[in-house]
Amino acid sequence: MTRTAALADFVGDWRLTRRIDDARTGQVALAEGLARFVPSATGLIYDETLRLKLPGQAPMTATRRYLWQADGDGIAVLFDDGRPFHRIALGEEAWEDTHWCAPDNYRGSYDFGDWPRWISRWAVTGPRKEYFMVTTYDRP
């Protein structure tokens, strides 16, 4: 398979690696962990747990939760409280979307060209934020 075609393609565990380049501080944060997609009544629950390493600090555990739901020919990604975050098109090799969270702008892209390995990229800008984050997902 060269690209994802259904929400169910994501079910299960994914090993993830993440790099965050903070343009404001000039620091690079690195993280490794696990993303787990679990079926729910409305789609999938995305839970990630990772070990985050920030320069000059002890490693820490970080977690995130999103809700992924079928949305026509794509996936609606929601925050864990049900607020909309962004959308992913299915069957595409690459996809881009944006999310405005005043006062910050999130520009994201997904690369499914080497499925089942895939990459998420986010550029975030705002009065107090300016970073670029790349996350690579692989099956364990």
Q: What is the pLDDT of residue 93?
A: 73
* pLDDT-derived band at 96, boundaries 50, 70, 90: confident
C-beta separation of 132 from 121 below 8 A: yes
Is residue 89 within 8 A of residue 73, CB to CB? The reply is yes
Mean pLDDT score of the chain: 93
What pLDDT does 83 receive? 95
pLDDT in tens, 31-45: 999 999 999 999 999
Q: Count CB-CB contacts under 10 A for residue 100.
A: 9
Task: Write the CATH number of the domain with boundaries 7-138.
Answer: 2.40.128.20
pLDDT of residue 97: 87
Domain boundaries, the chain: 7-138
pLDDT at 1 over 50: no
- Using alpha carbons, list the distances in angstroms from residue 51 to 36, 48, 74, 104, 117: 15, 10, 30, 25, 20
Prior bond of 59 cis (ω within 30°): no
Distance CA 19, CA 86 (A): 21
Question: How many Cβ atoms sit within 10 Å of the Cβ of residue 72?
Answer: 9
* pLDDT score of 8: 94
pLDDT 10s digits, 10-68: 999 999 999 999 999 999 999 999 999 999 999 999 999 999 999 999 999 999 999 99
Q: How confident is the model at residue 2 (pLDDT cuts 50, 70, 90)?
A: low
C-alpha 110/C-alpha 97 separation (Å) is 9
For residue range 101-137, what is the model confidence (pLDDT) as tens digits?
A: 889 999 999 999 899 999 999 999 999 899 999 999 9
70, 78 contact by CB (below 8 A): no
pLDDT of 24 reads 94
